[in-house]
Copies of this chain bind each other. A is one copy, B any other.
Amino acid sequence: LAEALAYLNGRRVPASQACLPVYDSGVVLGAAVTEQTRTFCKQLYRLEEHLERFLDSVRCLRIDLPIGKDELAGVSRELVAHNAALLPDGGELGLIQFATPGPYAGYAGMSLAAAAAGPTICVHTFPLPFARWAAAMRHGAHLITPPTRHVPPRCYDPKIKARSRLHFYLAEQEARLVDPKAWALLLDLDGNVAEGAGANFLIVKGGVIESPPPTNILPGVSKATVMELAARLGIAFQERTLQVYDVEAADEAFLTSTPYCLVPVTRVNGRAIGDGRPGRIYHRLLEAWSKAVDVDIQRQILDAERR
């Protein structure tokens, strides 16, 4: 049977062989940056913007990448072309790029190969797990603000899409203590709303979409898409410091992230937001997005439940 391909340090390899030696800095220190793109109708969406942000992240770690943006784009498209063909009907791909500084110097003696190695660069894909999001898509997600706080930019900037995200992992575990289906909404050190564990968070109040300021959240490509769609639909968008009170008092709320685009949020810390159902502006945005990519985003996800 055919197997998906991945790209690792200049070579195409079967996906099952895409792995990192245990002495790689990405494994040892979580010193890695990454990017995630998805397909619509098996075509990569906004690849260019994702790659630009990737190169910004790469530069922040001072990684001297042996492959340029155009080549990365080519590899990415090539993998998608090959791997999408293996998808089941209605499937789409997520595409990951990541890079690390390469072997960790402290284990230098571990491997002769390592001595000569430069940075690690990998591209791989995975089928978007629509079924994971169907319940939240239908009824709205329940967000919990866990005690674990977002890492502040003074330590490493959340604007870098880095992989030292243990706090995301812990926050999600804490959220699930309250509700096994809950998602985490991380607060920053001052208790202000930051972002989900891998998603930007937005509320709607009085007809205006509101986002936490860009100071310590990922500058999300999906968030930028929401801003464009809002502008097109004549919906105001503003950035301001948000706190749990603002979320509780919001008319609507949603998470936005590359793999699922927009998931409605209907509860926070056990309390309903607005009337407790996905809101009107959420639906308008999702509809506009669906049109823009010529895919019914919601149906694609909900259909996965039936399979």
Interface on A for B, CB 8 Å cutoff? 4, 6, 15-16, 18-23, 25-32, 34, 56, 59-62, 94, 96, 98, 101, 105-111, 113, 122, 124-129, 132, 145-157, 159-160, 162-170, 173-174, 177-178, 187, 189-192, 198, 213-215, 240-241, 243-246, 248-249, 259, 269-271
Contacts and interface: CB of A to CB of B under 8 A. Distances in A.
Contact of A147 (B30, B61, B111, B147): B147
A62 B111 contact: no
B132 A110 contact: no
Contacts of A148: 154-156
Q: Would you list the 7 A-B pairs with minimal beta carbon distance, nearest first?
A: A30-B30, A154-B191, A109-B127, A164-B164, A164-B166, A110-B126, A19-B19
Given A59-B271, A111-B16, A148-B154, A126 B23 contact: yes
13 contacts: A4-B110, A18-B22, A30-B166, A56-B249, A94-B107, A110-B125, A151-B155, A154-B191, A156-B167, A163-B164, A164-B165, A164-B166, A215-B241
A110 B122 contact: no
Contacts of A150: 155
A34 B6 CA distance: 28
A28 B213 CA distance: 26
Nearest to A242: B215
A269 B56 CA distance: 15
Contact of A30 (B32, B173, B249, B269): B32
A165 to B, nearest CB: 4
A92 to B, nearest CB: 10
Contacts of A156: 148, 166-167, 170
A28 B145 CA distance: 23
Contacts of A59: 248, 271
